[in-house]
Amino acid sequence: MRTNLQIVADHCAASARQDIAGMMADVSPDVAWTEMAGFPCAGTWIGPDQIVAQVFAVLGSAWEGYRFELEKLIDGGEQVVGVGTYSGTYRKTGKSMQARATHVWRLASGKIVGFEQFTDTLLVAQAMQD
């Protein structure tokens, strides 16, 4: 059986290759996925379908080359923390951004049951302003 750290590492690897199905493979059907207030996809989304529709589809259509580059994972047992950098170019303005980000995943019974994002939303918002 994979460890919680390996489950999150696999999720991040799928993200890096833009494999949505791979990203959702270990996500619980009732996961609570929270994007930070002030972020373009702010809110708490429940379940993989809402996450894909309200987060990944939105980011993919609004941003060119949007990505999270993972720097490190910190194993906290039932919680795993990822530290990295967002980057991308906002299609409407042509402005690029880079913003440090931290992700906190909560796991139970081999599934991701919670996610919370922390980032510098001002840097993202500045790229979105004309």
124, 97 contact by CB (below 8 A) = yes
Round to whole Å and give the CA distance between 80 and 58: 25
Round to whole Å and give the CA distance between 38 and 112: 24
- Residue 60: the pLDDT is 92
CB proximity list for 28: less than 8 A, separation 6 or greater? 108, 111, 112, 113
Average pLDDT, the chain: 96
78, 4 contact by CB (below 8 A) = yes
> pTM for this structure?
0.93
**DSSP symbols for 19-46:** -HHHHHTTEEEEEEEEEPTTSTT-EEEE
- Residue 1: the pLDDT is 85
pLDDT, block means (10 residues), the chain with 130 residues: 96 94 97 96 97 95 95 98 97 97 97 98 94
For each of the domains in the chain, give its residue range(s) and CATH number, in order of start.
4-128 (3.10.450.50)
